[in-house]
Amino acid sequence: MPAILQLQNVVKQYQNYRAVDNLSFEIPEASVFGFLGPNGAGKTSTIRIITTITKADGGQILFNNQPLSPTHVAEIGYMPEERGLYKSMKVGETVLYLAQLKGMKKSAAKAELDLWLKKFDISSWYDKPIEELSKGMQQKVQFISTVLHRPKLLILDEPFSGLDPINAVLIQDEITEMHRNGTTIVFSTHRMEQVELICEHIVLINKGKNMLNGEVKAIKEQFKKHIYKVDWAGEGFSIEENAPFVPTTAPNAANFNPAQSLYIQLKADSSPQAVLRYLLDKSVNIVGFNEILPTFSEIFIQTVENKPF
């Protein structure tokens, strides 16, 4: 897949610390990309460089293989974590103003806005002042203003924070549809369960450096510990020295019945088939056998607290 965005040795230096430290990674076009990292990792600094808010002090950024420049502003949509709109302006004129700043023509913006308002069933809000809206309503408006100009690259910083479950699903559906239509979506988030659900690629940065990046599936494979969960019915079984596995603790302190379930870890040179064979030989009545891949939360913690690769 070609990359819509490439960061090459990007550096951002503030007076006494380096927020972005020789950072390189690529964002594949039309992917759902997770941008992860602990607080203070340099995510916001990086995002601000990508969105042309600030300039890098070193390295380069390529947008569709061209050096990033203000001309690309019209193709990028950005919703910062700190949300806000002009309180005294009305919904319609706010969105139109922001869209026109992105280079959209007023008539096109108006038509697009009507579509979105209808889609969210909020056409009556057009003339409402922003300050009369609740927080969730304002976030919907802000979301619309972020995507109205149909950007190719959409950067969302904690987009679901502050949204109730209904609105979260609403926004999620729209993001999914945009992705289907070829938009590249970049999520910056702390919510690892979302990363698991929706991201295809990720980059994990810490102290301004690239700690980990690639396809989510591949990374999980990379981090897997060959842990499996065995469920059985009826009598238990004993585990000999020569078993191809060892018991291990439940990874997430999950609720399970130790009388009927067991978490195991494969020994080196072993395989799931060997485990199954062992158990079948013991006439264990197996009802479930699943690999437990590491969660992104675990991967995150392990990566951040250990040394980089």
Partner 1 sequence: MDKIWLIIKREYWTRVRKKSFLLATILAPLGFALLMGVSLWLSTQGAEEKTVAVLDETDVLQTRQGRALKDSPYLKFKLVNGNLETAKKGLDSLKCVGLLHIVAQDTAQLRNLRVDYYSDSELGLISLEFIKNSLSEHVKSIKVKKAGLNETILASFETSVEVSPKTILKPAKDDKSAGSMRIYVATALGGIMMFLIYIVVFIYGNMVMRSVMEEKTNRIVEVIISSVKPFYLMLGKIVGVGAVGITQFLIWAITVPLLYMGIIFLFAPRLSELANQQSAAAGDVNINKINAIMAELGSFDYGSIVIFFLLFFIMGYVLYASLFAAVGSAMSDDWGEGQSLTLIIAIPVILGFYIGTAAIQNPNGNLAFFASMFPLFSPIVMPARIVFEPAWWEIALSLLLLLANSVFFVWLSGRIYRVGILMYGKKVGFWEFTKFMFRKE
β-strand pairing of 285-292 with 245-247: unpaired
| Chain mean position to CA 205 | 13
- Compute the least distance from the CB of residue 26 to partner 1, in Å: 21
197 binds partner 1 (CB under 8 A): no
Q: Which stretch binds partner 1 (CB under 8 A): 82-90, 110-118, 242-250, 263-271?
A: 82-90
Residue 155 beta carbon to partner 1: minimum distance, rounded to whole angstroms: 9
Residue with smaller CB distance to partner 1, 88 or 134: 88
183 near partner 1 (CB under 8 A): no
- In the numeric block, the tokens 């607080």 are attached to 39
Q: How many of the other CB atoms lie within 10 Å of CB of 108?
A: 14
Do residues 269 and 259 touch, judged by C-beta distance below 8 A? no
Least distance (Å) from partner 1 to the CB of residue 51?
Answer: 4
CA angle, 93 then 118 then 166, to 5°: 105
Tell me if 97 contacts partner 1 by CB under 8 A.
yes
> Given the complex with partner 1, which of 145 and 213 has the nearer CB atom?
145
The strand pairing partners of 7, in sequence order, are: 25, 61
67 part of the interface to partner 1, by CB under 8 A: no
Q: Which lies closer to partner 1 via its Cβ, residue 102 or residue 226?
A: 102
> Which residue pairs from 14-21 have beta carbons closer than 8 angstroms and sit at least 24 positions apart in sequence?
18/208, 19/45, 19/208, 20/45, 20/46, 20/49, 20/56, 20/208, 21/207, 21/208, 21/209
Binding of partner 1 by 78 (CB under 8 A): yes
Q: Which is nearer to partner 1, 52 or 295 (CB)?
A: 52
| 3-class DSSP state of 22 | strand
87 binds partner 1 (CB under 8 A): yes
Q: In what order do the strands lie in the sheet with 76-79?
A: 76-79, 153-157, 184-188, 32-36, 201-206, 209-215
Residue 24 identity = S
Q: Residues 25-64: x/- map of binding to partner 1 (CB under 8 A)? A: -----------------------x--xxxxx---------
What's the angle, vertex CA 27, arms to CA 143 and CA 66, rounded to 5?
Answer: 95
145 lies in the binding site for partner 1 (CB under 8 A): yes
* Number of residues in contact with partner 1 under rule CB under 8 A: 31
Q: What's the CA gap between 61 and 303, in Å, rounded?
A: 25
Q: Given the structure tokens 């004129």, which residue do they identify?
A: 93
Which of 39, 82, 255, 268 is close enough to bind partner 1 by CB under 8 A? 82
Among 113-121, 139-147, 179-187, 290-298, the segment contacting partner 1 (CB under 8 A): 139-147
Region near partner 1 per CB under 8 A, out of 95-103, 167-175, 234-242, 244-252? 95-103
Residue 101 as a binder of partner 1 (CB under 8 A): the answer is yes
Whichever of 40 and 247 has its CB closer to partner 1, that residue is 40
208 touches 18 (CB < 8 A): yes
Tell me which residues touch partner 1 (CB under 8 A).
Answer: 14-15, 48, 51-55, 70, 73, 76, 78-80, 82-89, 97-98, 100-103, 142, 145-146
